[in-house]
Amino acid sequence: MVVPEIIQYGVQDAVILDCNYTYGTNTSGLVVKWFFRNKARPVYQWIVSQKPQDMGILRGRVDLAYRASSDPLKMHRALRIVKPDTDISGDYTCVVSTFMEEDSRTKQMIVFGKLFFKAR
């Protein structure tokens, strides 16, 4: 899992959170879900052979056309978040599941703003 630990607001046009995985012979029901902070509801979901979906705090902020791989079982595994802002700082969990198994990883990303101090 590749998630930048810290980025500065306004410096990058987009940030990529990648959830690379390996798969065996049974890929029935392969789904990639990303969760933000509390893991109650996904903020991104991709079911193989369907279009990816962005939800919650990331709705309208994910480049749904982005492809992390040409492999049809991995192409939409990553999030490309456009114009990252400080409100998306926190833990990101990627969950990859099939009908037979599931695995997950969590990493934190901090988006910080510039601080301006006024001399007195």
We report the CATH number of the domain holding residue 31 as 2.60.40.10
Domain that holds residue 61: 6-112
Structural domain includes residue 62: yes
Which letter, b or e, does each residue of 27-60 get, where b requires 16 or more Cβ atoms within 10 Å of its Cβ? Answer: eeebbbbbbbeeeeebbbbbebeeebbbeeebee
Stretches where the chain sits below pLDDT 50 are none
User: What's residue 38's pLDDT?
Assistant: 82
Structural domain includes residue 81: yes
Structural domain includes residue 1: no
Structural domain includes residue 10: yes
Whole-model pTM: value is 0.90
Tens-place pLDDT, residues 61-85: 999 999 999 999 999 999 999 999 9
How many distinct structural domains can be found in the chain? 1
User: What's residue 10's pLDDT?
Assistant: 86
Structural domain includes residue 106: yes
Sequence-distant (6+) residues with CB within 8 A of 5 are 107, 108, 109, 110
User: What's residue 114's pLDDT?
Assistant: 67
Tens-place pLDDT, residues 32-42: 999 999 888 99
Structural domain includes residue 120: no
